[in-house]
Amino acid sequence: MQPEKPLEGKVALVTGASRGIGLAVARRLGSMGARVSLCARDVKRLESAADECTRAGAVAIAVAADVTHPADIAKLVDTTEQLLGPVEILVNNAGVGHFGPFQAAREADWDKVVDTNLKAVFLLSRAVAPGMIRMKSGHIVNVASLAGKNVFSGGAIYCASKWGLLGLTGCMAEDLRAHGVRVSAICPGSVATEFNLPGGRDRNKMLQPDDVAHAVAMLLTQAPQSFISEISMRPTQKP
């Protein structure tokens, strides 16, 4: 039988946690006993999200940061560790999209998407990895996308960022597995959040944020001698 609080005493840092998938993940990890640091850029929404987790009985803090900025990342990790303890779980969920013909996109569009979806994962994971190595324990979960495996018209920049994220995730896993640190990717299809992919779809048939949170919880409660490197998720009905 699984313990009632399988993550009791662990510190989890979740990015993009003010809404959608990130908030669902933060709620789930808090309910499992983790002390949760919620990160996002929107201070007001972020504080509301942390308050929601606290009211549900979790230990939760809000730390506003732009994870594309190294200085913000340093402050985020330092504040989290001072208030909660060493980070043993990192969920890299923050992400943005840009959709349209690649030939019409601006360099600024590329920079915004790739910096958020890919570079920020590298920077934040690099910041917490030394602590995990010292503890000989830890789990990094990168929220990727089925767009990292499939192409579609208008998705050039977004797909490039997610294909890159899957490559980064696999190499991180190889670099860290000998230290007792597991690195996994979750690749959901369309999720019913405020993040809108192109094309009108039935939101009732889409994956829900709690579905992704369930997958994160599953990854974090694996037996210690193995790890699931990647999960692909699809709704039961095509939206």
Q: Does domain 11-230 bear CATH number 3.90.1170.30?
A: no
End-to-end CA distance of the chain: 36
Is 230:184 a contact under the CB 8 Å cutoff?
A: yes
- Cβ pair 215, 171 in contact under 8 A: no
Residue 1 has pLDDT above 50, yes or no: no
Joined tokens for residue 88: 């043993």
Among candidate residues 46, 117, 123, 158, the one labeled active-site is 158
Phi, psi of 146 (to 5 degrees): -65, -15
**DSSP class of residue 17?**
T
Q: Alpha carbon 164 to chain centroid distance?
A: 15
pTM as predicted: 0.95
Read off φ and ψ for residue 184, nearest 5 degrees. Answer: -135, 155
**pLDDT tens per residue across span 64-94:** 999 999 999 999 999 999 999 999 999 999 9
Q: What was the pLDDT predicted at 237?
A: 85
- Is 6 catalytic? The answer is no
Q: In 10 A of CB 129, how many CB atoms?
A: 20
What are 25-46's pLDDT values in tens digits?
Answer: 999 999 999 999 999 999 999 9
Instruction: Identify the pLDDT of residue 120.
Output: 98
Give mean pLDDT, residues 146-157: 96
Going by C-beta distance under 8 Å and a sequence separation of 6 or more, which residues neighbour residue 108?
Answer: none
Question: pLDDT per residue over 96-149, tens digit each?
Answer: 999 999 999 999 999 999 999 999 999 999 999 999 999 999 999 999 999 999
Domain boundaries, the chain: 11-230
Q: What is the mean pLDDT of the chain?
A: 95
Q: CA torsion, points 37, 41, 45, 51, in degrees to nearest 10? A: 20
Instruction: Answer for the pair 69, 120: CB distance below 8 angstroms, yes or no.
Output: no
Tens digits of residue pLDDT in 189-219: 989 887 655 556 677 789 999 999 999 999 9
